[in-house]
Amino acid sequence: ADPDPLQDFCVADLNATVSLNGFPCKPASEVTADDFFFDGLSKEGNTDNPFGFGVTQGNVLTFPGLNTLGLSMNRVDLARGGINAPHSHPRATESIVVIKGKVLVGFVSTSSVYYYKVLTVGQMFVVPRGLVHFQYNVGHGKATLITAFNSQLPGAVVVSRTLFASNPPLPVEILTKAFQVDASVINSIKSKFA
């Protein structure tokens, strides 16, 4: 979904003071093979949290060599029973490959149809751009997935965090009216994200 590059590469200078759609390039004379290399996905993410979820992002911010190249990858680790909570990527379609374990993956279309599949090692699923999706470890041990995006910086809108943990918070009456529940229910959910 990103625009086409205008040169072979443009390794991001993340410290540049100019702000534009992407990042300026570090001088080509300073570019080495290391700029096209990223070791981050080799390590298991920390899943010691209430979701049993760890994500390691290989996007332009962690891997500046991706700048202008239109793609990125994450590693998602799930503890037994762990979940990557419902979220969407405003700038990318996502493909998912399971490399360990057994994972329920699903998304919901704009017509509110829920599409899902249980994947085992080597199997792939695709989540169309912008649609809300999740992954849930339904196997007996840990699970690991690699996700790939057609954007250097797909962005992630985590539904729960967006609605219940924004800064500043959304007015409670927006949420009581949206979900047709009492404020106590909203405040209970909010307290989990404090």
Binding interface with ligand GLV (CB under 6 A): 55, 74, 76, 84, 94, 135, 147, 156
The least CB distance from residue 176 to Mn ion, in Å, is 29
Count of residues for the chain? 194
- Rank residues 84 and 144 by Cβ distance to ligand GLV and give the closer one: 84
- Sheet arrangement for strand 103-108: 114-119, 103-108, 132-137, 83-88, 157-158
Half-sphere exposure of 141 (CA within 13 A, CB side): 6
Instruction: State the binding partner of 68 from Mn ion, ligand GLV, none, CB within 5 to 8 A by kind.
Output: none
Name which of Mn ion, ligand GLV, none residue 118 binds, using a CB cut-off of 5 to 8 Å depending on partner kind: none
Minimum CB distance to Mn ion smaller for 77 or for 94: 94
Residue of this chain nearest to Mn ion (CB atom): 94
Q: How far is the CB of 84 from ligand GLV (least distance, A)?
A: 5
Nearest distance in Å: CB 170, ligand GLV: 23
* Other CB atoms within 10 Å distance of the CB of residue 67: 26
> 177: exposed, middle or buried (C-beta count within 10 Å: 0-12, 13-18, 19+)?
exposed
CB of 148 to ligand GLV, least distance (A): 9
Helix (H, G, I), strand (E, B) or coil at 45: coil
Rounded CA separation 62/66 (Å): 9
When CB distances are held under 5 to 8 angstroms depending on the partner's kind, the choice from ligand GLV, Mn ion, none that residue 25 binds is none
Which one-letter amino acid corresponds to residue 35? D
The number of angstroms, rounded, from the C-alpha of 67 to the middle of its chain's C-alpha atoms is 17
Nearer to ligand GLV, 31 or 104 (CB): 104
Instruction: Report the interface residues with Mn ion, using CB under 5 A.
Output: 94
Q: Which is nearer to ligand GLV, 65 or 154 (CB)?
A: 154
